[in-house]
Amino acid sequence: MTTPADDPWSRWRAATRARIGLGRSGDALPTSAQLEFQAAHSRARDAVHGAADFAALAAALAPWDCIA
C-alpha cells in the first residue's frame, strides 16, 4: 500500500480536482480510475441533458437584483 509520503502526486491531487497521477495499468488507466471517470462523465451528461426547472430558478434568484 502506498502512503501519502511515498506518493509524489498526493500533494498535487490535494490542490486540484483534476485527475492526475492515477497510475497506469499497461497503456491504460487502472480499472478503478476508469470506472470512476465513466461514472463522473455519466453524471455530467445527465446534468447537461436533464430538464431544467426555470420557474424554480427564477424564484430562487428573485430576491437579488439581477441585470435584465
3 state SS of 21: coil
pLDDT reported for residue 66: 74
How do the domains of the chain map onto residue ranges?
Answer: 10-61
Q: CA-to-CA distance for 57 and 60, rounded, in angstroms?
A: 5
Dump pLDDT digits (tens) for 9-62.
Answer: 888 888 998 888 888 888 899 999 999 999 999 999 999 999 999 999 999 998
DSSP one-letter code for 25: B
pLDDT reported for residue 13: 85
On whether the pTM is more than 0.85, the answer is no
| pLDDT band at residue 7 under the 50/70/90 scheme | confident
